[in-house]
Homo-oligomer: A and B are copies of this chain.
Amino acid sequence: MATVGFIGFGVMGAPMATNLAKAGFDVVGFSRTPERVSNLASDGITLASSLEALVHASDVVITMLPDSPDVEDVVLGDGGVFANAAPGLLYIDMSTIRPDVAVRIAQSAEAKSINALDAPVSGGEAGAVEGSLSIMVGGSKEAYERARPVLTAMGRTIVHVGPAGSGQTVKAANQLIVAANLQGLAEAVVFLEAHGVELPSALEVLGGGLAGSAVLERKSQNMIERSFNPGFRLSLFQKDMGIVQAAAREKGVTTLLGSLLAQMISSLVARGDGDLDHSAMIRLVDELSRT
């Protein structure tokens, strides 16, 4: 089987790389913060001594990094992935970054005969550990077919959604919908509590009708208990909603709800809640209400 070079061993990246190794791929890892990767050997992952060594050893390179500048630096920078890559490399960025940056990376890849895909994920830490992520893939159909066996080791719903950048665009739409569903649920929970309604019964009947959603199913317990262990950090959600706003503006789309949601999330982060799970959006509703 192919050798996969993996860069980015955070909350999501570490279990994703482990699942690749479990599926039988030879996985090579590299990190600029060595303490992050010191215990990878027990998961069947080999450590590379440098980014250059990782790229030379790999048929496929995957990045899973926090934000657009991180990816640009590691991939396009001096001594980065593309500087060391031979023609024919398959490069898959699974980070959530700006669609226009994903397009720029794809153009740069094409000039070097590298196959590039943007393939961000949804499903959180649990999905990464279980290998049940949803993966939205942008790029050429050929590169997508080549990547499928690798992606299948990490996800369950894997869909090619269009040319380069499309994966990031769909991920941005995903975050916009999730933010709307979270805030709608948060306001509903505070409203029901203020009226003294039995929450578990109310959520049962709400979940059975048109108000039912994955957010209601997976996040209402956090909200009721005001327990916000991540999960998915508000600081990353703020970054993602910034991507939504920029990508909407670029195409002349007005997202009234999206911009209010972005402001709400920014307010929570500004006031110190950036490390809480995104179900903590209910804190703003609490603070603005008589509770």
Interface residues of A (CB under 8 A from B): 99, 122-124, 127, 134-136, 156-162, 165-166, 169-170, 172-174, 176-181, 183-185, 187-188, 190-192, 194-198, 201-202, 204-206, 208-216, 218, 244, 247-248, 251-258, 260-261, 264, 285, 288-291
Contacts and interface: CB of A to CB of B under 8 A. Distances in A.
Contacts of A134: 205-206, 208-209
A176 B187 contact: yes
B190 A253 contact: yes
B209 A192 contact: no
A159 B208 CA distance: 10
A178 B211 contact: yes
Nearest to A254: B288
Q: Copies per complex?
A: 2
A206 B253 contact: no
26 contacts: A122-B206, A134-B208, A135-B205, A157-B205, A161-B205, A166-B195, A166-B197, A166-B198, A169-B197, A173-B192, A174-B188, A177-B184, A177-B211, A178-B210, A181-B184, A183-B257, A187-B256, A194-B248, A195-B247, A209-B214, A212-B213, A252-B291, A253-B290, A256-B260, A256-B264, A257-B257
A100 B165 CA distance: 51
Given A136-B205, A173-B206, A174-B206, 16 more contacts: A157-B205, A165-B195, A170-B192, A173-B191, A174-B209, A177-B181, A180-B180, A191-B247, A191-B255, A194-B248, A251-B290, A252-B290, A252-B291, A255-B285, A256-B285, A256-B288
A209 B209 CA distance: 19
Given A184-B181, A215-B213, A258-B187, A205 B253 contact: no
Nearest to A198: B162
Contacts of A188: 173-174, 176-177
